[in-house]
Amino acid sequence: MKPIKLGMVGGGSGAFIGAVHRIASRIDGEFNLVAGALSSTPEKARTSGEELGLAPDRSYDSFVEMAKSEARLKDGIEAVAIVTPNHMHYPAAREFLERGIHVICDKPLTATVSDANKMATAVENSNALFILTHNYTGYPMIRQAKELVATGELGKLRIVQVEYAQDWLTEPTHNKQAEWRTDPSRSGAGGSTGDIGTHAYNLARFVSGLTLNKLSADLDAFVPGRRVDDNGHVLMRFEGGAKGMLWCSQVAPGNENGLRLRIFGEKGGLEWSQEDPNYLWYTPFGEAKRRLTRGGAGTSPSANALNRTPGGHPEGYLEAFANLYAEAAQAIRAVQAGQPVPSNVHFPDINDGVEGVRFIDACVRSSSKDAAWVSL
């Protein structure tokens, strides 16, 4: 089938996540980038478009101009990737949703709860799909973990422990990536909680299937003068009685991308680490620890469906990201054919996005009240 025509808002020269989205969209040949409004600076937008080989008349100075023009074209884009700083997710996505163009948006959904609610309304009023790229849900062994929980192999869940530790903001940093992430007007009120804490929270919810009841958060900005948190400790109480702990930090020397998930139930436990993603440790109570490997013996069809190479050949971050794009393509093609979205598609959606922003807001509110228990 012909690749889906893709546009991009943001992600111009020097932007990290835009390049990741472009690679992920190309891995399975499902998308072809044909248009973009790649920067808020017109000159940089045009230069970035030239670097990526976009036709001059498909490289736009603004996302509003792009949405209007592409919607009028016979061969206009069918989907758009939004990879701007957080505060621009809603206004950009809205323009395309209103015109029936499918949206693939980077996380967190928005910078504020108000914008998250507006985004939810825009999605509800559109006939277009909305996909949120919490890319860690695309790892095969995370899908395996989700299935182990869902089929009752762990029994009733008791404990959920998740952490995401980095060290790149340990000292004052003024590069492009740090600049907007530490600016509350662009990132939102949450710092580490918004940038990586939402990833950790989404992953815990995705695998466990639990619903959060209340949380108690203790947030810090350890670097003097920093206006958003760079470290957070969060206690969580889930419906049904399970308890959880979440730690997110960008000031933990020696940690690069230390996303780690552990879940324990009445009958067993599991453990997974993003920096060693091809393995899942599963331990039935009273038995020896078992290492399940990507593509290896004992893994489920739902996990194996996301593999591209035989077991023993490492797959990682880019492939997991590409799995969300592959699922987005399945869903888009189904909608275009007038069919329901396939049941094997599990990408995060608008509901996950709204919950993520409410999680950030709850953490900030709780911490401002001396770690008082609050609900989302």
Residue for token pair 């690749």: 3
What is the per-residue pLDDT across 268-288, written as a single tens digit (0 to 9) for each?
Answer: 999 999 999 999 999 999 999
Q: Rounded to the nearest 5°, which phi and psi values hold at 344?
A: -90, 5
The gap from C-alpha 78 to its chain's centroid, in whole angstroms, comes to 21
CA distance 200 to 154: 20
Q: What is the dihedral of CA 301, 307, 311, 312, to 10 degrees?
A: -150
- Please tell me the pTM assigned to this model: 0.96
pLDDT band at 359 (very low <50, low <70, confident <90, very high): very high
Q: How far apart are CA 221 and CA 307, in angstroms?
A: 40
- pLDDT class for 14, splitting at 50, 70, 90? confident
How far is C-alpha 105 from the geometric centre of its chain's CA atoms?
8
- The fraction of the chain above a pLDDT of 90, given in percent, is 97
pLDDT value of residue 177? 87
Alpha carbon of 201 to those of 61, 128, 211, 247, 272: distances in Å? Answer: 36, 26, 11, 10, 15
Say how far apart CA 25 and CA 345 lie, in whole Å. Answer: 16
Q: Read off the tokens for 296.
A: 């290896």
Note the pLDDT tens digit of each residue in 160-180: 999 999 999 999 988 888 999
Please write the tens of the pLDDT for every residue from 32-69: 999 999 999 999 999 999 999 999 999 999 999 999 99
Tokens of 82: 């939004």
- Domains of the chain by start residue, with CATH: 4-128 (3.40.50.720), 139-310+355-368 (3.30.360.10)
- Token readout for 138 is 């695309």
Whether the CB-CB separation of 132 and 109 falls below 8 Å is answered with yes
Q: How confident is the model at residue 234 (pLDDT cuts 50, 70, 90)?
A: very high
Does residue 31 contact residue 79 with C-beta atoms inside 8 Å? yes
Q: Which residues of 316-353 are buried (b: 16+ CB within 10 A; e: fewer)?
A: ebebbbbbbbbbbbbbbbebeeeeebeeebbbbbbebb
Q: Is the peptide bond before 108 cis (omega within 30 degrees of 0)?
A: yes
Residue 96 contacts residue 5 (beta carbons within 8 Å): no
CB-count burial class (<10 Å; 0-12, 13-18, 19+) for 21: buried
